[in-house]
Chains A and B, each alone.
Chain A
């Protein structure tokens, strides 16, 4: 280091500063309740994705996103090289992957949203702040919705964009198939809301994440098996409606209805209102249960 100053002379520039690390009162902005809700949504999304957690927590979201998005990318790539007449892959086909992924993702996310906070008694800290129980619940539902939505909407949107870009006349294709966006939204909203509501209710009563996930998957599969058995046993027109109580095949049936294609099962596709009713009914029951669990005491 060179210096023109003679040795021992007082430095003309300060070479350090002393910081007062004592406690200071906060006099900055206070953004209130809305900001708190937004912060909780972001925090919950990060936790759902395993961000700032061990690598094992990132594994399931990473795998599920891979399973959900890879088919869309592969199909889009194939369509770029093979003529459309020789290769047909519909949104309904893609929904087979998406439905399965949403099913597993909901099983993992529901407990991630609610179980830890209950088990670790963090709720008392949240509710001692300017945040109502309803705010907390809405933030968790929103975070769940965002995460499930990325899988419900992302892959079909990629396929839609690929179809537009690969069309002979992309602008004409976009406007001719604009309704497909509505169908993508309808399927995504109905299935995400249906699975998300059930997963959150189970998580609200189970402190252990693994147990909550197992109850979700096991419970829905058992209900599906019972519904299937009833379907096989009955031989009247009523059997077509049993699917409304079969959580696994209902997802497939909603896709078939939305895209106007046959179901994977040997049953007629019902009027869309029935599926909407089944989803809304489930959400209503789940909301009532959640109300009793979180809000009744407030």
Chain B
């Protein structure tokens, strides 16, 4: 068992290329034991990173360790302690959930009797109770996702990879699945790495995020840290909002109108007292009632857009210079 403060995953210049297409480009990252979100658009390289770490595909270059072991040399030892929920459909149709999860437990080395017992217990935990004796063919998408989750944790792994776990689920199912993932980490103590392109999912279940875009690592860190720095300020007055926009612009503040609300962009480092003072002064000058004045939280979406957008802009500048 590795120490709790040691990174659970470290990569060094990890690269995977399929011919001329680079799916993962020299990724250096160190991920702590936590609930981790792997965030990126479809095709960004999330699944490639997971498959590399699990040894399902070989890296073109670079190295990585997981649970303190080298992903090439100790791949089987790593897999004994890791669970995996793939993005795609991966369940046999003509088997009952109990039989299949039990079989997967045996595949992880559990003796037959223990495997069957664990399968029943874990299926119960993920909310597949009486249905576990039915063929998987008749399951809804949500039930299948639960069975996939059950097979991923049936052998009691230290770390579980969940690749797009809410894929294709309805809102209620998605909510249930996210609650389950939360439980897996917070109550069961299993480290989870959730790969998703849905920012809300990551924001809801993860404490740490790794952002990838077009095969490159663009940001990583604790979500709270990344969202620090305050966001924009939202103002609503009982009067002419456009006039307020003009007055604030005259005070060198960047503003925009969003319906009845005036959004004042936060300067670098977050909204300062000077911004609030300027808003107050402008409203006083207009002699109108102030209905709303609040700081807008910086969301993960803001962080993602700024980070990925920043990378794209930087690349465009470099490309322009090269040309």
Contact = CB atoms under 8 A, between A and B. Distances in A.
Interface of A: 21-26, 28-33, 35-36, 39-40, 43, 52-54, 57, 116-117, 120-122, 124-132, 297-298
Contacts of A131: 76, 79, 107
Given A29-B114, A39-B103, A124-B56, A129 B108 contact: yes
Nearest to B78: A130
Given A29-B111, A35-B109, A121-B86, A128 B188 contact: no
Nearest to A21: B124
Given A31-B111, A43-B106, 4 more contacts: A35-B109, A43-B103, A122-B92, A131-B107
Contacts of A121: 86, 88-90
Interface string B62-98: 0000000000000011011011101011111111100
B306 interface: no
Nearest to A53: B94
Contacts of B114: 26, 28-29
Nearest to B92: A120
Contact of B110 (A28, A124, A297, A298): A28
B131 interface: no
B311 interface: no
Given A33-B76, A125-B151, A130-B77, A25 B156 contact: yes
Contacts of A26: 110, 114, 118, 155-156
B14 to A, nearest CB: 17
Most buried by B among A25, A124, A125, A127: A125
Contacts of A28: 110-111, 114
B121 A23 contact: yes
A249 B277 CA distance: 97
B188 A23 contact: yes
A122 B151 CA distance: 11
A229 to B, nearest CB: 41
Contact of A31 (B83, B96, B110): B110
B58 interface: yes
